[in-house]
Structure 1
């Protein structure tokens, strides 16, 4: 699973460096031949980029391309996507289980696509609960990983021993049926306490790990009492997945949860966009490219909502970094020179500079938001 600390260190990689994003999905027909479509694209794009590179760096550039090509040959990657950073003293590969678009860059490390992927694929949680305990899993960028330190086991061995104990005083005889009833009531009370404790532990874990959504999964008789004990605010960003045994492998759990996660996200995104459009009065929310960009750079935005794959160009001041769609050659704020920059490259940087989270929407939510300019925001 991707290391967030590693991601934060990427801008500090020494230059010049080769950045490669590749669709290596073995299910893609282009990657089912030899050489793979990923390798063919790399070689073709490298020829174009080499011609644009400084003459003094072209030998180094070709060496790094060859290193990446060699890596793709032995053995062929099985991941859906791959990001590689290659330089004279650097080799860093990031295998990803999400769709990646082919890109090749030389010079500074190119992080734009990676930042978009991180915004689009927020980490979520899965808690697998039954009467033996609870297991905690993080689901992120198409991968699932168990959080072993959160494992929560219920030990019922002592309960059974108590059931088999002889009478406390000689001469007293147990009524087996009534004692069994009392024992079973106590067992159910212990299970009820366990489910409440599990709900409390889940709430703390979700808050600490910043997970959304979290899925409570397992047999019906375990999922329901845990769900009932969760805080209502957490349930707004959670869902139940019932009707299967807690005895399931992580791979099977991921296969079961993935479609549930997609459905939850599409429904959540649609609700967010509908609410934004209904409240876009300039006090709580803004909708549209120009107004949203202005509010973002003025520090008025707390969360951006953007259509997946939104394109377009901006003009950005090389001095104060102000960016908008105006065609003016000089910055209206400081008079500095302006350069053309892709919205796709500028938006993640502007969001991070202003401490703003980004919600990337798809499906019906994207269709509705695109009709309103493709970009919106909740205000502080």
Structure 2
């Protein structure tokens, strides 16, 4: 299971020798293992790093199971470095050679698919799921005391409540309340243990609302959506629905994020947009969150001694050999941001983001 810790490990690896990075979409619906291996050979055929190319072919031939949506592979044979990372979700085909692993795509996948906590709740208990990168990692359950409904009465006898629910006595209401509080307490421990980044709540409207009413504000702020679901649903059904709701919520979140970024930048309020201004903020270690359009790349320059990034190097610096031309300066901006403790948010192509230059950043200061 690929985690934030693994991403940081890749970010910290910088080599004096070339590092070969390969992202391969292995979605079974697009072809079998032989088809994907052939595509990898086509992508690697012009790469003049025979040891690394051989290591990747060996991994694809004998280790990778071709059961998921994609794979990310990193190799630096001269430094004895190799990582093969199976992915449950599809990935864009890409290849990169540089002095460090290319992590932009992985950062985007973590941003989109990382850390989902799902709670499927009823009046007696809940089923809890932790999904990460499109895979069920763990599930648990809690069961409180059974709710015994009564036949008499047309409304709750719970004092102070107007109307009520038919068939519920005060004792029933109190038992539901105790169960719900226990469920929330158990769920928050589950969320905390797995360091969830997003929460989805499933069940009937009444149960979802009651669960939310007991959830602490710190966790309530992570709730991105709700959906109806039977307590007997399979984990595959829960995952499929959770990803649908989560993806829709992610689109809305990205729209708000882009709107805030552009507005704050226009006001000069701790945000910038556009490639060169963003690179300057990256160079200064000011970036709290780097926001980039998915697939955005640009040729740029890196200063040899300082790692300074720019698209506008001085003519003198170029003549003196101080700058190295790089195929994707955005990739290096991602690396620099993560190394300095910032976050990276990869958004799907949006017209407003494109007009802003496909890149921007919220700043620390």
Say whether the fold is shared (TM-score over 0.5): yes
- TM-score, normalized by length of structure 1? 0.77
Q: Deviations over 1:270-292 (max 9, x none)?
A: 01111222222223322222222
CA contact (8 A) 1:288 1:372 kept: yes
SS in 2 for 1:279: helix
User: Separation in 2 of the partners of 1:375 and 1:18?
Assistant: 25
Say if 1:63 and 1:377 are closer, same or farther in 2 by CA, change over 3 A: closer
What residue in structure 2 maps to residue 25 of structure 1?
Answer: 27
Say if 1:131 and 1:117 are closer, same or farther in 2 by CA, change over 3 A: same
User: Which residue, out of 81, 92, 96, partners 2:70?
Assistant: 81
What residue in structure 2 maps to residue 97 of structure 1?
Answer: 88
* Residue range with higher mean Cα deviation, 89-98 or 242-251: 89-98
CA contact (8 A) 1:46 1:65 kept: no
Matches for 1:6-45 after TM superposition, within 5 Å: 6-10=6-10, 19-28=21-30, 31-32=31-32, 35-36=34-35, 38-45=36-43
SS in 2 for 1:211: coil
User: Which residue, out of 102, 106, 131, partners 2:123?
Assistant: 131
User: Which residue, out of 55, 58, 75, partners 1:64?
Assistant: 55
User: Which residue, out of 263, 271, 279, partners 1:293?
Assistant: 279
What residue in structure 2 maps to residue 377 of structure 1?
Answer: 361
User: Separation in 2 of the partners of 1:106 and 1:373?
Assistant: 25
User: Deviation at 1:362?
Assistant: 1.5
SS in 2 for 1:311: coil
SS in 1 for 2:28: coil
CA contact (8 A) 2:290 2:360 kept: yes
Q: Deviations over 1:202-257 (max 9, x none)?
A: 45554564433211111223211011222445444314424321111111101111
User: Separation in 1 of the partners of 2:230 and 2:85?
Assistant: 34
- Give the unaligned 5+ runs of structure 1: 164-175
Matches for 1:297-312 after TM superposition, within 5 Å: 297-312=283-298
User: Separation in 1 of the partners of 2:307 and 2:317?
Assistant: 9
What residue in structure 2 maps to residue 321 of structure 1?
Answer: 307
CA contact (8 A) 1:212 1:238 kept: no
SS in 2 for 1:136: strand
- TM-score, normalized by length of structure 2? 0.80
- Answering whether residue 264 of structure 2 is matched by residue 273 of structure 1, we say no
User: Separation in 1 of the partners of 2:74 and 2:240?
Assistant: 30
What residue in structure 2 maps to residue 173 of structure 1?
Answer: none
- Give the unaligned 5+ runs of structure 2: 159-167
What residue in structure 2 maps to residue 169 of structure 1?
Answer: none
Larger radius of gyration: 1
What residue in structure 2 maps to residue 221 of structure 1?
Answer: 206
What residue in structure 1 maps to residue 164 of structure 2?
Answer: none
SS in 1 for 2:46: helix
User: Deviation at 1:293?
Assistant: 2.0
User: Which residue, out of 45, 48, 56, partners 2:46?
Assistant: 48
Say if 1:132 and 1:197 are closer, same or farther in 2 by CA, change over 3 A: closer
Matches for 1:185-224 after TM superposition, within 5 Å: 185-203=170-188, 205-206=190-191, 209-224=194-209
Going by fraction, where is helix more abundant, 1 or 2? 1
CA contact (8 A) 2:287 2:337 kept: no
User: Deviation at 1:121?
Assistant: 3.4
Say if 1:312 and 1:129 are closer, same or farther in 2 by CA, change over 3 A: same
User: Separation in 2 of the partners of 1:286 and 1:378?
Assistant: 7
CA contact (8 A) 1:329 1:338 kept: no
What residue in structure 2 maps to residue 343 of structure 1?
Answer: 329
User: Deviation at 1:108?
Assistant: 6.5
User: Separation in 2 of the partners of 1:362 and 1:140?
Assistant: 20
Q: Note the aligned Cα RMSD (angstroms).
A: 3.5
SS in 2 for 1:261: helix
SS in 2 for 1:110: coil
Q: Deviations over 1:188-210 (max 9, x none)?
A: 21211322343344455545644
* Residue range with higher mean Cα deviation, 298-307 or 206-215: 206-215
